[in-house]
Amino acid sequence: MALLNFKKPEGPIAGSLSPEVEAFLQGYSIEVMPRTASKVEDFRAILPKGTRVYVAHIEGTPIEDMVSTAARLNAEGFDVMPHFPARIIKDQATLTDWIARYQGEANVNQALLLAGGVTKPHGDYHSSMQLMESGEFDRVGFKRLHVAGHPEGNKDIDPTGGMANVDEALRWKQDFSNRSDAEMALATQFAFESGPIIEWAQSLKAAGIDIPIHIGIAGPAKLQTMIKFAIACGVGPSLRVLQRRAKDVTKLLLPFEPTEVISELAAHAAANPDTNIVKVHFFPLGGIKTNANWAISNGGSAAVPVNAS
Protein backbone atom coordinates (compact mmCIF):
# COMPACT_ATOMS: atom_id res chain seq x y z
CA MET A 1 0.00 0.00 0.00
CA ALA A 2 1.37 3.39 -0.92
CA LEU A 3 1.83 5.81 1.92
CA LEU A 4 0.46 9.33 1.61
CA ASN A 5 2.24 11.51 -0.90
CA PHE A 6 2.13 14.95 0.67
CA LYS A 7 2.20 17.64 -2.01
CA LYS A 8 2.20 21.38 -1.83
CA PRO A 9 -1.40 22.57 -1.84
CA GLU A 10 -2.99 23.65 -5.07
CA GLY A 11 -5.22 26.66 -5.58
CA PRO A 12 -5.17 29.93 -3.64
CA ILE A 13 -2.88 28.70 -0.88
CA ALA A 14 -0.24 27.55 -3.33
CA GLY A 15 -0.49 30.86 -5.17
CA SER A 16 0.30 32.74 -1.99
CA LEU A 17 3.49 30.85 -1.22
CA SER A 18 6.45 33.15 -0.69
CA PRO A 19 9.63 32.29 -2.64
CA GLU A 20 11.64 33.69 0.28
CA VAL A 21 9.89 31.40 2.77
CA GLU A 22 10.23 28.44 0.41
CA ALA A 23 13.98 29.01 0.20
CA PHE A 24 14.27 29.56 3.95
CA LEU A 25 12.51 26.29 4.78
CA GLN A 26 14.73 24.11 2.61
CA GLY A 27 16.78 21.71 4.69
CA TYR A 28 14.91 22.37 7.92
CA SER A 29 15.42 20.06 10.88
CA ILE A 30 12.94 18.82 13.47
CA GLU A 31 13.11 17.47 17.00
CA VAL A 32 11.48 14.31 18.36
CA MET A 33 11.55 12.25 21.54
CA PRO A 34 11.33 8.46 21.67
CA ARG A 35 7.75 8.59 22.99
CA THR A 36 6.59 11.05 20.29
CA ALA A 37 8.47 9.22 17.55
CA SER A 38 6.74 5.97 18.49
CA LYS A 39 3.40 7.55 17.49
CA VAL A 40 4.58 8.07 13.89
CA GLU A 41 4.08 4.96 11.77
CA ASP A 42 6.64 5.92 9.14
CA PHE A 43 8.56 9.20 9.08
CA ARG A 44 9.11 8.80 5.33
CA ALA A 45 5.44 9.63 4.84
CA ILE A 46 5.76 13.10 6.39
CA LEU A 47 9.36 14.32 6.21
CA PRO A 48 11.61 14.95 3.20
CA LYS A 49 14.26 12.28 2.74
CA GLY A 50 17.48 13.13 4.55
CA THR A 51 15.88 15.57 7.00
CA ARG A 52 18.03 16.05 10.08
CA VAL A 53 16.04 14.70 13.03
CA TYR A 54 17.24 15.58 16.50
CA VAL A 55 16.39 13.02 19.18
CA ALA A 56 15.86 14.86 22.46
CA HIS A 57 17.15 13.09 25.56
CA ILE A 58 14.92 13.96 28.50
CA GLU A 59 16.01 13.00 32.02
CA GLY A 60 14.78 9.49 32.81
CA THR A 61 14.71 8.26 29.21
CA PRO A 62 16.72 5.01 29.00
CA ILE A 63 19.64 5.13 26.60
CA GLU A 64 18.22 1.97 25.00
CA ASP A 65 15.11 3.92 23.93
CA MET A 66 17.25 6.74 22.56
CA VAL A 67 19.45 4.41 20.52
CA SER A 68 16.56 2.36 19.14
CA THR A 69 14.77 5.55 18.04
CA ALA A 70 17.96 6.75 16.37
CA ALA A 71 18.40 3.37 14.64
CA ARG A 72 14.85 3.42 13.35
CA LEU A 73 15.20 6.94 11.96
CA ASN A 74 18.51 6.06 10.33
CA ALA A 75 16.94 2.99 8.71
CA GLU A 76 14.16 5.19 7.30
CA GLY A 77 16.74 7.44 5.65
CA PHE A 78 17.08 10.35 8.02
CA ASP A 79 20.08 12.26 9.30
CA VAL A 80 19.98 11.50 13.02
CA MET A 81 21.40 13.86 15.65
CA PRO A 82 20.88 12.73 19.27
CA HIS A 83 21.12 15.07 22.24
CA PHE A 84 23.95 14.60 24.72
CA PRO A 85 22.83 16.51 27.86
CA ALA A 86 25.95 16.89 29.99
CA ARG A 87 24.19 16.97 33.36
CA ILE A 88 22.61 13.52 33.00
CA ILE A 89 25.84 11.83 31.89
CA LYS A 90 27.45 10.29 34.95
CA ASP A 91 31.08 10.01 33.84
CA GLN A 92 33.41 9.49 30.90
CA ALA A 93 32.71 5.76 30.81
CA THR A 94 29.00 6.52 30.34
CA LEU A 95 29.76 9.07 27.64
CA THR A 96 32.02 6.61 25.82
CA ASP A 97 29.35 3.91 26.07
CA TRP A 98 26.60 6.16 24.68
CA ILE A 99 28.74 7.23 21.74
CA ALA A 100 29.68 3.62 20.97
CA ARG A 101 26.03 2.53 21.07
CA TYR A 102 24.90 5.31 18.76
CA GLN A 103 27.69 4.58 16.31
CA GLY A 104 27.44 0.81 16.40
CA GLU A 105 23.66 0.39 16.47
CA ALA A 106 22.36 3.51 14.70
CA ASN A 107 25.24 4.66 12.46
CA VAL A 108 25.27 8.08 14.17
CA ASN A 109 28.20 10.44 13.61
CA GLN A 110 26.85 13.75 14.90
CA ALA A 111 25.47 15.16 18.13
CA LEU A 112 23.85 18.14 19.81
CA LEU A 113 25.85 18.88 22.96
CA LEU A 114 24.12 20.86 25.68
CA ALA A 115 24.10 21.28 29.43
CA GLY A 116 20.57 19.94 29.77
CA GLY A 117 17.66 21.11 31.88
CA VAL A 118 18.68 19.29 35.07
CA THR A 119 19.54 21.61 37.97
CA LYS A 120 21.91 19.23 39.78
CA PRO A 121 24.37 17.27 37.60
CA HIS A 122 24.17 13.49 37.91
CA GLY A 123 27.94 13.16 37.81
CA ASP A 124 31.09 14.68 36.38
CA TYR A 125 29.69 16.95 33.68
CA HIS A 126 27.73 20.18 33.92
CA SER A 127 28.30 21.88 30.55
CA SER A 128 28.56 21.13 26.85
CA MET A 129 32.07 22.55 26.91
CA GLN A 130 33.21 19.71 29.15
CA LEU A 131 31.80 17.20 26.68
CA MET A 132 33.68 18.91 23.87
CA GLU A 133 36.90 19.01 25.91
CA SER A 134 36.62 15.28 26.67
CA GLY A 135 37.92 14.50 23.20
CA GLU A 136 35.54 11.54 22.90
CA PHE A 137 33.68 12.87 19.88
CA ASP A 138 36.87 13.77 18.06
CA ARG A 139 38.40 10.39 18.89
CA VAL A 140 35.64 8.50 17.12
CA GLY A 141 35.32 10.92 14.22
CA PHE A 142 31.96 12.60 14.80
CA LYS A 143 31.73 14.87 11.77
CA ARG A 144 29.22 17.39 13.11
CA LEU A 145 28.71 18.91 16.56
CA HIS A 146 25.91 21.33 17.30
CA VAL A 147 25.65 23.39 20.46
CA ALA A 148 22.88 25.44 22.02
CA GLY A 149 22.17 29.09 21.25
CA HIS A 150 20.00 31.47 23.26
CA PRO A 151 18.73 34.54 21.37
CA GLU A 152 16.96 35.80 24.50
CA GLY A 153 19.49 34.69 27.08
CA ASN A 154 19.22 31.80 29.51
CA LYS A 155 18.38 32.16 33.20
CA ASP A 156 20.14 28.86 33.97
CA ILE A 157 23.39 30.33 32.67
CA ASP A 158 22.84 33.98 33.62
CA PRO A 159 20.53 33.78 36.69
CA THR A 160 20.35 37.55 37.14
CA GLY A 161 19.54 38.20 33.50
CA GLY A 162 21.72 39.57 30.73
CA MET A 163 23.96 37.67 28.36
CA ALA A 164 27.44 37.82 29.94
CA ASN A 165 27.89 34.11 30.67
CA VAL A 166 26.06 33.02 27.52
CA ASP A 167 28.32 35.23 25.41
CA GLU A 168 31.47 34.00 27.16
CA ALA A 169 30.44 30.40 26.45
CA LEU A 170 29.86 31.23 22.79
CA ARG A 171 33.31 32.76 22.51
CA TRP A 172 34.76 29.53 23.93
CA LYS A 173 32.75 27.49 21.43
CA GLN A 174 33.92 29.70 18.58
CA ASP A 175 37.52 29.05 19.61
CA PHE A 176 36.78 25.32 19.73
CA SER A 177 35.24 25.53 16.27
CA ASN A 178 38.37 27.27 14.96
CA ARG A 179 40.62 24.46 16.18
CA SER A 180 38.29 21.53 15.47
CA ASP A 181 37.59 19.65 12.26
CA ALA A 182 33.96 19.18 13.27
CA GLU A 183 31.26 21.09 11.41
CA MET A 184 29.46 23.18 14.00
CA ALA A 185 26.21 25.10 14.28
CA LEU A 186 24.15 26.81 16.95
CA ALA A 187 20.75 25.19 17.39
CA THR A 188 18.75 27.77 19.30
CA GLN A 189 15.91 27.91 21.78
CA PHE A 190 12.68 28.95 20.08
CA ALA A 191 11.47 32.54 20.11
CA PHE A 192 8.46 34.31 18.65
CA GLU A 193 9.78 37.67 17.39
CA SER A 194 12.12 38.15 14.45
CA GLY A 195 13.59 41.49 15.51
CA PRO A 196 15.43 40.30 18.63
CA ILE A 197 16.56 37.15 16.80
CA ILE A 198 18.08 39.18 13.98
CA GLU A 199 19.73 41.63 16.40
CA TRP A 200 21.23 38.75 18.36
CA ALA A 201 22.55 37.05 15.22
CA GLN A 202 24.09 40.31 14.01
CA SER A 203 25.70 40.92 17.40
CA LEU A 204 27.36 37.50 17.26
CA LYS A 205 28.73 38.22 13.82
CA ALA A 206 30.06 41.59 14.96
CA ALA A 207 31.79 39.85 17.88
CA GLY A 208 33.56 37.46 15.49
CA ILE A 209 31.35 34.47 16.24
CA ASP A 210 30.64 32.98 12.84
CA ILE A 211 29.19 29.59 13.79
CA PRO A 212 26.11 29.14 11.56
CA ILE A 213 22.75 29.56 13.30
CA HIS A 214 19.93 27.03 12.98
CA ILE A 215 17.15 29.11 14.42
CA GLY A 216 14.64 27.42 16.71
CA ILE A 217 10.99 27.83 15.74
CA ALA A 218 7.99 26.42 17.61
CA GLY A 219 5.73 24.53 15.22
CA PRO A 220 1.96 25.03 15.13
CA ALA A 221 0.17 24.27 18.39
CA LYS A 222 -2.77 25.30 20.51
CA LEU A 223 -2.08 28.63 22.17
CA GLN A 224 -2.38 27.13 25.65
CA THR A 225 0.14 24.42 24.71
CA MET A 226 2.51 26.99 23.25
CA ILE A 227 2.40 29.19 26.36
CA LYS A 228 2.96 26.19 28.66
CA PHE A 229 6.06 25.05 26.76
CA ALA A 230 7.37 28.60 26.34
CA ILE A 231 7.28 29.21 30.09
CA ALA A 232 8.76 25.79 30.88
CA CYS A 233 11.60 26.31 28.38
CA GLY A 234 12.46 29.79 29.63
CA VAL A 235 11.49 31.74 26.52
CA GLY A 236 12.28 35.41 27.11
CA PRO A 237 10.62 38.69 26.14
CA SER A 238 9.14 37.31 22.92
CA LEU A 239 6.63 35.45 25.10
CA ARG A 240 4.66 38.71 24.88
CA VAL A 241 3.60 37.69 21.36
CA LEU A 242 1.64 34.80 22.86
CA GLN A 243 0.35 36.91 25.73
CA ARG A 244 -1.08 39.48 23.30
CA ARG A 245 -2.67 36.68 21.30
CA ALA A 246 -4.25 35.26 24.46
CA LYS A 247 -6.07 38.56 25.07
CA ASP A 248 -7.88 38.27 21.73
CA VAL A 249 -10.83 36.00 22.45
CA THR A 250 -11.50 35.58 18.71
CA LYS A 251 -8.10 33.85 18.37
CA LEU A 252 -7.91 32.06 21.69
CA LEU A 253 -9.03 28.68 20.36
CA LEU A 254 -7.15 28.88 17.06
CA PRO A 255 -3.74 27.19 16.74
CA PHE A 256 -0.76 29.51 16.90
CA GLU A 257 1.38 29.18 13.79
CA PRO A 258 4.92 30.50 13.16
CA THR A 259 3.92 32.19 9.89
CA GLU A 260 4.84 35.73 10.90
CA VAL A 261 8.23 35.05 12.45
CA ILE A 262 9.22 32.68 9.63
CA SER A 263 8.14 35.18 6.95
CA GLU A 264 10.12 37.99 8.56
CA LEU A 265 13.24 35.88 9.03
CA ALA A 266 12.95 34.63 5.45
CA ALA A 267 12.70 38.20 4.16
CA HIS A 268 15.78 39.13 6.18
CA ALA A 269 17.71 36.15 4.81
CA ALA A 270 16.72 37.02 1.24
CA ALA A 271 17.78 40.65 1.68
CA ASN A 272 21.00 39.69 3.50
CA PRO A 273 22.54 36.66 1.79
CA ASP A 274 25.52 36.79 4.17
CA THR A 275 23.35 36.35 7.25
CA ASN A 276 24.49 33.78 9.78
CA ILE A 277 20.91 32.48 10.15
CA VAL A 278 21.08 29.61 7.68
CA LYS A 279 18.53 26.95 8.71
CA VAL A 280 15.25 26.47 10.57
CA HIS A 281 15.00 23.98 13.42
CA PHE A 282 11.43 23.07 14.40
CA PHE A 283 10.18 22.16 17.85
CA PRO A 284 6.93 20.33 16.98
CA LEU A 285 4.98 21.38 20.07
CA GLY A 286 1.64 20.60 18.44
CA GLY A 287 2.73 17.27 16.99
CA ILE A 288 5.24 16.04 14.41
CA LYS A 289 2.69 15.47 11.64
CA THR A 290 1.08 18.86 12.22
CA ASN A 291 4.46 20.56 12.00
CA ALA A 292 5.51 18.63 8.90
CA ASN A 293 2.24 19.43 7.12
CA TRP A 294 2.60 23.12 8.01
CA ALA A 295 6.12 23.17 6.55
CA ILE A 296 4.89 21.54 3.32
CA SER A 297 1.94 23.93 3.05
CA ASN A 298 4.31 26.90 3.37
CA GLY A 299 6.83 25.81 0.78
CA GLY A 300 8.98 23.18 2.46
CA SER A 301 9.86 20.07 0.50
CA ALA A 302 7.29 17.28 0.50
CA ALA A 303 7.88 13.70 1.55
CA VAL A 304 8.78 11.24 -1.17
CA PRO A 305 6.15 8.50 -1.47
CA VAL A 306 7.26 5.02 -0.46
CA ASN A 307 5.63 1.61 -0.55
CA ALA A 308 4.85 -0.01 2.73
CA SER A 309 5.14 -3.78 2.89
Residue 306 forms part of a structural domain: no
Residue 5 forms part of a structural domain: no
d(CA 116, CA 84): 8
Q: Considering only CA atoms, which of 148, 61, 126, 129 is closest in space to residue 98?
A: 61
Total of domains in the chain = 1
Residue 95 forms part of a structural domain: yes
Residue 10 forms part of a structural domain: no
Grouped pLDDT means (10 residues each) for the chain, 309 residues: 37 61 97 97 96 97 98 98 97 98 97 91 95 95 95 70 82 95 94 93 96 96 81 70 65 78 97 97 96 94 64
- CATH code at 258? 3.20.20.220
pLDDT of residue 308: 41
Q: Are 193 and 218 in contact (CB under 8 A)?
A: no
Residue 304 forms part of a structural domain: no
Residue 3 forms part of a structural domain: no
Residue 1 forms part of a structural domain: no
Q: Which domain holds residue 139?
A: 23-297
Q: Strand 255-256 and strand 221-222: pairing?
A: antiparallel
pLDDT of residue 253: 59
Single pTM value for the model: 0.88
